[in-house]
Amino acid sequence: MIRGPRSATAAIDYVARAHTAWDPAPDWVVAIAEEVAATSVRETAKRLGYSPSVVHEVIAATYRGDLGRVEHIARGALMGATVICPVLDEIGRDRCRQEQSAPFRATNSTRAHLRRACRTCPNREVKS
């Protein structure tokens, strides 16, 4: 029984795989593939808040979930897209989406301000 990685296993070129699967590949999918190539699938998935299988499926163009949500998170976490939050000022799109979907916690005044501001914010994407 051989334990450990196979010695003849070739490295996967995730960027080429994304370009082949999407034709043409959106910039945010290429950003995910480049992040996977630079780090790992597990690290990229953790950074995006998804499972590694979702990252694989997005790169392979087989993901059946909400691609718009993945795009917003990828643009915020990997591409530096920002929005102006009425409470927190300039934040990443991924952080904005997290704050919108976070349950109310009465732990401090900022959380209460965020809860009220997110209801009428022009950046609102998550419906209660």
* For the ranges 27-36, 79-88, 99-108, 110-119, the one whose mean pLDDT is highest: 27-36
pTM for the structure as a whole: 0.75
Mean confidence (pLDDT) of the chain: 87
CA distance from start to end of the chain? 53
Q: Average pLDDT, stretch 112-124?
A: 85
Supply the pLDDT for residue 116.
86
Q: How confident is the model at residue 52 (pLDDT cuts 50, 70, 90)?
A: very high
**Residue whose entry in the numeric block shows the structure tokens 């010695």:** 7
How far apart are alpha carbons 106 and 100 in whole angstroms? 15
